[in-house]
Structure 1
Amino acid sequence: MLNRFMQMRLRDLIILAVILFALPLFLNNPFHYDLATQMAIIAATVVGLNLLVGFAGQISLGHAGFFGLGAYFTGIMTSNYGWSSVPALVVGAILVGIVAWIVGRPILRLKGHYLSMATLAVGFIIAIILNNERALTGGPDGMPVPAFTVFGWELSPFGSYNLLGMELNGSEAWYLFAAVVLLVAVWLAQNLIDSPIGRALRSVHGSEVAARVVGVDTARYKSLVFVVSAIYASAMGSLYAHFQGFITPAVAGFDFSILFITMVVLGGMGSTMGVILGAVVLKLLPQVLADFQELETVMFGAILMLTMIFMPKGLLPTIQTAVGKRMKKKAGGQA
C-alpha cells in the first residue's frame, strides 16, 4: 500500500514538473511570466499551510504573519546590513520557526473557533508591529528590497541571463527559479506526508483522542507541523520580497491570510496538487474578472460560494472522484 502511495506521489510530481516547464510555451510577455512566478511562490506557501490544515486538521487564519516576517527579515538584512539573500532567507526561516514554536505551544491547545481566533490574533499582532516599527520596516509606506543574490550572482526581473545556451530575460529566469522552488517544496511535503510524522498528523486529524490513546504525542506533532508550515511561509515570503522589489505590511495582513486559507479549502484540503490548483485559480480569477469592473468582487465571491456548495471537498478531489467514477462505469460497461 505504501509503495502505491509513493508511486502516486512521484507521478504527481512528474506531472507538475512537466506542466511547469511546458508553461513558458504559452506565456507571451513579462506580465504573464510575473503572474506565473507569483503563482509558484504562493503555491509553495499554501503547500506548507496544507500540511497544517489539510493533514493535521489545525486551522490558521494568521499565516500571512509568518510570510510577512520572512519578507521583512530578508528585506531588512539585505538592505540595511549587507547580507546575501540566501543567508537572510535561511536565518529568517529559522527565527520564524522559533517564533512559531513559542506561540504555537499554547494556542494549539485550543480547538475550533478558539484556535481560529488565536491564530488570527497572531497575524494581527505581527502586522501591527510591522506597521509601527517605522525605523526598521518603513511603516505603512513599506521598504525596497534588493535583487536576489547567491554566490555573487544576481537574479533581477530586469536582468538578462544565459542558461544552457538559452538567452533569458529577468522575468523568464525568475519563473524558472520559482518553478524549481515549487517542485522542491512539493517534494519535501510529500516526503513528510509519507513518513511516520505524516501518519501521526493524519491520526491527529482523524481523532485527536484516539491518537493519544495509541501513544501519539499530539501536542508535539501539532507544534512540529505548525513550525514547518511557518518555515514554508517565511522562506516564500523572502523570495516574494526579492521578486517584488518592494514590500509593505500588507504582505502580513488579514487579506493575505484569508487568501492562503481559501486556496487550501478551494483546491482541496489534504491534496498537495489540489492546493496548487487552488492557488492558480485564485490568482487567475481577478485577471479574468477584471473586465467586469465593479462586479468583479461580487462575481469572485459568487464563484467561490458555488464551488464550495457543489464541490465541498475542493476542486481537484471532486474532479478526480468524477473521473474515477466515469472510468469505472466505462470499465463495467465493457465487461
Structure 2
Amino acid sequence: MMKMTPKRATLMVLLALILLSPLLFPSGYYYRVGALIFVNAIAVTGIVILTGYAGQISLGHAGFSGIGAYACALAPVHLGLHPGLAVFLGAGISALLAYLVGRPILRLKGYYLGVATLGFGILVSMVLNNERALTRGPDGIDVPDLGLRGLLKDWGLNLSNGEFWYFFCGLCLLLGAWLALNLYASPTGRALRALHGSEVAARTVGVDVARLKLQAFVISAVYASVAGSLLALQNKFITPDVAGFMHSIEMVTMAVLGGVGSVLGAIFGAAILTLLPQVLTVFAEYEQMVLGLVMVLVMIFLGEGLLPSILRKLRGKGE
C-alpha cells in the first residue's frame, strides 16, 4: 500500500475536485469559469514558488503572462509556429527575460524589489499597448485555435469548447502543482525555504543565495507565461490588460488570500477570488466594496491565508 504523503494527498484532492466539480455545474457556462480558475491557479502556483518558498516579492508578474499570451497570438502568424509550440516559445522568452532582468533586480530587498518588478511589468504593458503595428495596441489581437478539439473528436471524444478547456487547463494545473510539490520536497526546495527564513543563515550554511533567488524567479515566470498562453488560446483573443498592473496585484492577492506558503492554499485562493465576482454580481455597484471587505477580514482574522488557517483550526478541534 502506498504511503499517503502530503504531496500525494494534495494531488489526489486536486484531481478529485477537477473530476467531480462538473457534477455540480448547473450549465455549461461553469466549465468556462472552472477553466479560468485553473489558469489563474497556474499563475498563482508560480507566485507560491517565488514568494512562499523563496520569500521574494514580485508586483509585475503579469508581464510574463502578457509575453506568453502574445507569443500564442503572434508566433503562428509571423513565424508559422503551431499555437501549441508558441506556448513553449513564450515560456522560453519569459525564462530568458526573467534571467536577464532578475540578475540585477534580485539584489534588491523588500519594497525596493517590489518596485523594480513593478517597473518591469509596466514596461511590458506599455510595449504591448504602444506597438500597434505588431500587437494592435489596446484593441487586442485574435489568437489562432489550438486545434486539439478536432483531434480528440477524431478519436471519438466529442467535447464542447467549455468542457475541453476545463479538462485541458485542469490537466495543466495538475502537472504544474506536481512540479511545484516536487520542488518543495527537493534539496533545492529546502534551500529555498532556508533562504525565506533568513538569507544570512542560508548563506552561512553554504546556500548560493543569488542563484536560488534567480532560479525561483525564472521558474515562476514560466508558470505565469504558460497561464497567459492558456488564457489567450481559450479566449481566442487577447488585450494588453493581461500584462496590466491590476492583473499582477490579483495574482499576489490570490496567493496571499489562500495561503502563499501552500500550493493547495494558493489554488484555493485563486478559486475564491475568481468566483467571488461571479457571486457578488447581485450587489451590482457594491461588488468591489464587498470584495475588498472580505479580503480585509480574511487578512485580519486568518493571517496565514484561508486554507492553512482553516486546516489549523480543524486540527486544533480534532485534538
Q: TM-score, normalised by structure 2?
A: 0.96
1:144-184 residue CA offsets vs partner (Å, 9 max, x unmatched): 001113xxxx33xxx79549865421211111111111100
- Give me the whole-angstrom Cα distance separating, in 2, the residues matched to 1:186 and 1:141: 34
The equivalent residue for 2:100 is 102
Residue 61 of structure 1 aligns to a residue whose secondary structure is coil
The correspondence of residues 163-312 of structure 1 with structure 2, limited to 5 A, is 167-312=158-303
The equivalent residue for 2:315 is 324
Counterpart amino acid of residue 246 in structure 1:
F
Q: In structure 2, list runs of 5 or more residues that go unmatched.
A: none
The equivalent residue for 1:137 is 135
Counterpart amino acid of residue 200 in structure 2:
V
Quick one: which of 94, 109, 114 aligns to 1:116? Answer: 114
- Give me the whole-angstrom Cα distance separating, in 2, the residues matched to 1:322 and 1:249: 42
- Give me the whole-angstrom Cα distance separating, in 1, the residues matched to 2:239 and 2:212: 33
- Give me the whole-angstrom Cα distance separating, in 2, the residues matched to 1:89 and 1:51: 21
Compute the displacement of 1:130 (Å): 0.6
Compute the displacement of 1:314 (Å): 0.1
- Give me the whole-angstrom Cα distance separating, in 1, the residues matched to 2:86 and 2:156: 31
Residue 159 of structure 2 aligns to a residue whose secondary structure is strand
Do the aligned partners of residues 185 and 300 (structure 1) sit closer, same or farther apart at CA in structure 2, a change above 3 Å counting?
Answer: same
The equivalent residue for 2:22 is 24
Residue 29 of structure 1 aligns to a residue whose secondary structure is coil
Q: State the identity as a percent.
A: 47
Check whether the contact 2:99–2:218 (CA below 8 A) recurs between aligned residues: yes
Do the aligned partners of residues 307 and 163 (structure 1) sit closer, same or farther apart at CA in structure 2, a change above 3 Å counting?
Answer: farther
- Give me the whole-angstrom Cα distance separating, in 2, the residues matched to 1:72 and 1:176: 23
The equivalent residue for 1:62 is 60
> Which portions of structure 1, spanning 4 or more consecutive aligned residues, are displaced by more than 4 angstroms?
159-166
Indicate the RMSD between aligned Cα atoms, in angstroms.
1.7
Counterpart amino acid of residue 124 in structure 1:
I
Residue 22 of structure 2 aligns to a residue whose secondary structure is helix
Do the aligned partners of residues 17 and 164 (structure 1) sit closer, same or farther apart at CA in structure 2, a change above 3 Å counting?
Answer: farther
Counterpart amino acid of residue 271 in structure 1:
S
- Give me the whole-angstrom Cα distance separating, in 2, the residues matched to 1:199 and 1:221: 11
- Give me the whole-angstrom Cα distance separating, in 2, the residues matched to 1:163 and 1:281: 36
Compute the displacement of 1:107 (Å): 0.7
1:214-249 residue CA offsets vs partner (Å, 9 max, x unmatched): 100000000001000001111111111011111110
Q: TM-score, normalised by structure 1?
A: 0.92
Q: How many residues align?
A: 318
- Give me the whole-angstrom Cα distance separating, in 1, the residues matched to 2:286 and 2:151: 40
- Give me the whole-angstrom Cα distance separating, in 1, the residues matched to 2:261 and 2:53: 5
